[in-house]
Structure 1
Amino acid sequence: MYEDERYQMLRLIEQSYEHWTSKKLPTPSIMEEERLRWLDEQSPYGLLVQNNNEEPLFIYANKQAQIIFGYSLEEFLSTPSRKSAPPQMQRDRECLLEKVTTQGILMGYHGTRVDKQGMLFEIKNGMIWNLISKSGETIGMAALICKSET
């Protein structure tokens, strides 16, 4: 994924987030282009996007999401999003995504996830929202995640 494509995706992520929350994604006070670079490369929280395919794939992951899950960007972009949760948590994950589909956004979610090495970890105070194209069509889901240190 090239820099321009990542920044286009980040603009779409933020526009959709703002649609649901009336706020911009949390960042330091910096200029717009630096803001996008910060979200992509320096954010302390992970940002992930999955598409709406029958078997959804990740189509974006910022640097922090890559660190949290242990995947390179190339690996993320070829990974079905269901692999982010352990097999025993798939039904919970499906229910969570169904809520997002109907409500548009889910704030404050917690859940068990699995990294590339198969190690389980907890997400705390996460947010998931429908990703909306410029034409108003839902084209996927975006997530803001923080790994619990406990």
Structure 2
Amino acid sequence: MNHQPWQQEKVIQRTQLILSSFEHWLGRSLFEHFGITEVKTDAIEVSQQLFEANFIVASHGTQTDPIFNYGNQKALDIWELTWEEFIQTPSRKTAEAIEQQERDRLLAETTEKGYSRFSTIRITKTGKRFKINNGIVWNVIDNQQTYQGQAAVYSDFYFLP
């Protein structure tokens, strides 16, 4: 059974939460934010569209040390991880030790305000460093407004020498 992650029911549901939460906090769709006007309507097609999008989307859950529970293909590629590795990785592991305090501050601010904008440096599985500009992180909530974790999106990034 060689299913793509976007075909899994859990991933389809997470995709819906990521997208509806972005719209809740920022007042427009995530696809619209990136100038994409042709958005699928079927849940599985939307899941595929986000997974194959040309921007990075990742989210983590509500654990004390949050573990990633979603990363689209572009996120997997940039962090040099397989889906299986990604969904077992604490999100803090993608930030260097020097960036941990700023990451903690950003996530706390997001928890309080609903979303935040950020620019930061992250690190891949093999230790490559990259700079993110103009990222957005937001609280993922369900239909009852229950906190389900946080998600981030960005397309403006470059690897550092």
Structure 2-normalised TM-score?
0.86
Q: Which residue of 2 aligns with 1:17?
A: 22
Total equivalences in the alignment? 148
- The offset of 1:28, in angstroms, is 4.1
Determine whether 1:64 maps to 2:74: yes
Identity %: 30
Q: Which residue of 1 aligns with 2:100?
A: 90
Residue by residue, what CA displacement relative to the aligned partner does 1:61-107 show, whole Å, maximum 9, x if unpaired?
11111011111110011111100101111001111111101111013
- The offset of 1:149, in angstroms, is 2.9
Residue by residue, what CA displacement relative to the aligned partner does 1:28-59 show, whole Å, maximum 9, x if unpaired?
41322333311112x11111111111111001
- Please give the alpha-carbon distance, in whole angstroms, between the structure 2 residues aligned to 1:88 and 1:30: 39
Q: Residues 47, 97 of structure 1: CA spacing in aligned structure 2 closer, same or farther, 3 A cutoff?
A: same
Unmatched tracts of structure 2, length 5 or more: none
- Aligned residue for 1:10, secondary structure, equals helix
The correspondence for 1:29, drawn from 27, 38, 42, is 38
- Please give the alpha-carbon distance, in whole angstroms, between the structure 2 residues aligned to 1:131 and 1:146: 19
Asked if structure 1 preserves the Cα contact closer than 8 Å seen for 2:134 and 2:156, the reply is: no
Could you tell me which amino acid in structure 1 is paired with residue 142 of structure 2? S
Aligned counterparts, 1:1-150, within 5 A: 2-26=7-31, 27-33=36-42, 34-41=45-52, 43-107=53-117, 109-149=118-158
- The offset of 1:3, in angstroms, is 2.5
Q: Residues 35, 140 of structure 1: CA spacing in aligned structure 2 closer, same or farther, 3 A cutoff?
A: same
Asked if structure 2 preserves the Cα contact closer than 8 Å seen for 1:106 and 1:128, the reply is: yes
- Aligned residue for 1:149, secondary structure, equals strand
- Please give the alpha-carbon distance, in whole angstroms, between the structure 2 residues aligned to 1:17 and 1:31: 17
- Please give the alpha-carbon distance, in whole angstroms, between the structure 2 residues aligned to 1:46 and 1:116: 16
Unmatched tracts of structure 1, length 5 or more: none
- Please give the alpha-carbon distance, in whole angstroms, between the structure 1 residues aligned to 2:141 and 2:59: 12
- The offset of 1:5, in angstroms, is 2.0
- The ranges of structure 1 where at least 4 consecutive aligned residues each deviate by more than 6 angstroms after the TM superposition are none
- Aligned residue for 1:110, secondary structure, equals strand
